Amino acid sequence: MSPLQIAHSVLLLLAHVPISLANLDDGGGAYRNLLQEPQAPVAHQVNHLSSEGGFNGGVRDVHGEAATASTLSLAEDTGVPSMSAADIVQNTSPPGRDLSHLSVLQNARPEDVKLEPYPYILLKNALPKEIYDHLAKTYPNDKTLFSISGKTTLMKPNFRYDIRSAQTMVNRDKLDPMWIDFVQYHISPAFYQDVVRVFGPALEKRRPDFIKDGTVHNLMEKKSTMRYAEDQSTDLTMDCQVGMNSPVSRKSSVRGPHHDTPGELYGGLLYFRNPADKSIGGDLQVLACKGGKCKEVPESEKRKRGMSTSRNHEHFDYRDLTVAATAKYKANTYVMFINTLSSVHAVTPRHPTKFSRKLVNFVAEMVKRNPDGSVFIKPNNAAKLAGKHN
């Protein structure tokens, strides 16, 4: 069987596994009741979910039309209908459920967005207390996170480890049910619409390349899906990564001043600091370039300036920057920004500590296109959806 067939078979089985509620505390009564709602059989979930995303269902899409040629056909020995890559992931989510109570932007307003030096928002107490407390209580420990992330070497100090959304879906038996829903919501079309609600004007002004990309030029009508599940109708892919920066043995920064890759549309971090963690550092800095012009330091000059020469650790010299804002590494703090070539940010040096820097990373990327305008589908996408680590 191919990796795509394996992914489909595994996820279909997981969709029928009853969700354990034993580890939900008494404070999560409303969520407990929500999880106990009856679930439709997998064969019927596609049409329910397509009302949100409009993707091609295994039988019919939201418009009642047959699946298109972009549908990926599975071999006959799987005994299941042909389904698109997006369906494979979406079929693991119960139908007809509103998960907006888990949104990191539920308390955000467009007027909360700061436009300079680039569009960003900083939210304290981003999630309702009962939601945050339960997620914090059930946050995967360092060993579990390291294991699911697929790393096989020894854990490095102050190093970033993440569980990709696809890995979360495949390893849902190892994570709390609320975490599954949390990740699922933040890679859904519903969350993309929430992003547009808050950042729409900023996106139109700062990312006209995204507006013009593809055949759909209206922000609200752009099609999103989980990373690695894109097809020919996709405009952007989304990931919600449960992660950490590992414990620190000596004072160091996980990342110096830099901007993210140009194809990234937005980035966000939600902090889950351990109450017992009294260490210094780990804050995210929003940086402004002096004179309004951001100029990266050539690799050949970094050593002369005393900068790190590690690959992609830092692109800019602190002496050319000023700190516009700081997102303190505090529990339930969320920072999000629209990515541009001037969206320079950095993480302040962390002092030695036995605690990991717990965070969830939110990211969206424009799809890559072939010269003819079609979406470039990476050859290893099927393996990524199957939870492979390559």
pLDDT in tens, 321-340: 999 999 999 999 999 999 99
Measured CA distances, 124 to 12, 112, 129, 334, 336 (Å): 38, 12, 11, 6, 12
pLDDT at 315: 81
Q: Which runs of consecutive H residues, i.e. helices, occur in the chain?
A: 3-15, 29-35, 42-53, 85-90, 129-137, 142-148, 165-170, 177-185, 189-206, 208-212, 299-302, 381-385
How far apart (Å, rounded) are the C-alpha atoms in residues 342 and 26?
Answer: 46
pLDDT in tens, 141-164: 999 999 998 877 788 999 999 999
Contact between residue 373 and residue 365 where contact means Cβ atoms under 8 Å apart: no
pLDDT at 34: 43
Contact between residue 338 and residue 266 where contact means Cβ atoms under 8 Å apart: yes
Local structure of residue 252 (DSSP, 8 states) = B
Residue 345 in tokens: 């940010």
pLDDT in tens, 173-193: 999 999 999 999 999 999 999
Contact between residue 13 and residue 21 where contact means Cβ atoms under 8 Å apart: no
What's this model's pTM, rounded to 2 decimal places? Answer: 0.77
Q: If DSSP codes are grouped into helix, strand and coil, which group holds residue 218?
A: coil
Residue 25 in tokens: 């505390």
pLDDT at 52: 31
How far apart (Å, rounded) are the C-alpha atoms in residues 224 and 383?
Answer: 20
The dihedrals phi and psi of 363, each to the nearest 5 degrees, come to -150, 145
Compute CA 180 distance to the chain's CA centroid, rounded to the nearest angstrom.
13
Percent of the chain with pLDDT over 90: 56
Contact between residue 113 and residue 122 where contact means Cβ atoms under 8 Å apart: no
pLDDT in tens, 114-143: 999 999 999 999 999 999 999 999 999 999
- The amino acid present at 168, given as its one-letter code, is T
Which of these, 122, 119, 118, lies nearest to 294 by C-alpha position? 118
Contact between residue 47 and residue 60 where contact means Cβ atoms under 8 Å apart: yes
